[in-house]
Amino acid sequence: MGEARLGEFLIAVVIMELTPGPNMGYLASIALTRGRQAGLSASLGAALAFALALVVALAAHRLLAPHLHAAGHVLGALGAAFFLWIGIDAWRDAGRPPTPLADVAAGNWRHAARGWAANLLSPKTWLFYLSVVPAFAGGDLAMQATLGGLHIAVSTIVHVGIVFAAAAFAPAYAASTHTLRLTERVFAACLIALGLWFGWRAIAM
């Protein structure tokens, strides 16, 4: 794989990760309303989900390729159900006091698990590793693993940057209970809308 091809892949990944989407909105919301540690936990969960998806894609690419269309239906339905669930849960939690210090560890594990599940159930994750990465690397599994690793590194850097930027604005939002509740409900509504959109896409595919 030439340097030009590698550069094209990195450019594509950076553009993809900087485009507003579920991860960006979710991580910004968590860091803004629940703190930097919660946002970093969600980022860790996302990175672990990408790593697992990459391993599965490398092991089963040829086996799954003929059934990718059907797999997209299933993943789309699961993704829709998941985003609807966390959206409704976030709406119910809007305006509640921050997690007590004694429960911070448990809360961080919860955010990590959500970040992991959200990305593992996303059709975008699987389609990326099953189609985009092989398109750049061909049948070379070692190169596919390398490109997948680069994607995980770039996405993690972007996610951490989003968390730190959002957390910096947290004190201003925390000073206004009304603004905090409104912000949380806006993000919750976006997650619910995303779940409905995923469901529509799963049916239309």
pLDDT single digits (tens) 112-155: 998 898 888 887 788 788 777 887 787 788 898 999 999 999 99
CA 63 → CA 12, 51, 130, distances in Å? 26, 19, 11
For 156-186, write each residue's pLDDT tens digit. Answer: 999 999 999 888 887 766 556 666 677 667 7
Confidence of residue 50 (pLDDT cuts 50, 70, 90): very high
Amino acid letter for position 140: D
- Round the average pLDDT of the chain to a whole number and report it: 77
The secondary structure of 34-68 as a DSSP string is H-HHHHHHHHHHHHHHHHHHHHHHHHHHHHHGGGH
Contact 49, 120 (CB under 8 A): yes
Residue 157: the pLDDT is 95
In angstroms, the Cα distances linking 130 to 2, 45, 67, 134 are 21, 20, 11, 7
Which bin fits 138, alpha (ψ -120 to 50), beta or left (φ > 0)? left
pLDDT at 196: 82
Between 13-17, 24-28, 59-63, 153-157, the lowest mean confidence (pLDDT) is in 59-63
Task: Return the pLDDT at 62.
Answer: 66
Let me know: does 202 contact 77? Beta carbons within 8 Å. Answer: yes
pLDDT of residue 131: 75
